[in-house]
Homo-oligomer: A and B are copies of this chain.
């Protein structure tokens, strides 16, 4: 999927990956029993914010296509073409899935 939004600075646009919420016994758990930090795919990434002299950008460690682990309560929800996405700062990302 390609989107027409370019995040500014150290921001990312992320689409949540719905984890299967089936327990060992086969029951589907209600929403409040889901784990907190969740996985998502990075759809767009900024170019990094400027350093204090305005000469270099601080590089991002996350790229488009990465799958990242982030806290569900960080960021700002946006709706794009009817889909719920999240705008995060890179500092809200805990880890990425090693490829």
Interface string of A42-61 (1 = CB under 8 A from B): 00100110111111111101
From 80 to 99 in chain A, residues with beta carbon under 8 angstroms from any chain B beta carbon are: 87, 90-91, 93-98
B50 touches A78 (CB 8 A): no
Instruction: Report the count of interface residues on A (CB-CB < 8 A).
Output: 41
Query: How far, in whole Å, are A4 and B98 apart by their CA atoms in the complex?
Result: 5
B55 touches A56 (CB 8 A): yes
Query: How far, in whole Å, are A71 and B57 apart by their CA atoms in the complex?
Result: 24
Contact of A90 among B8, B36, B47, B78 (CB under 8 A): B8
B47 touches A4 (CB 8 A): no
List the B residue with the shortest CB-CB distance to A24: B82
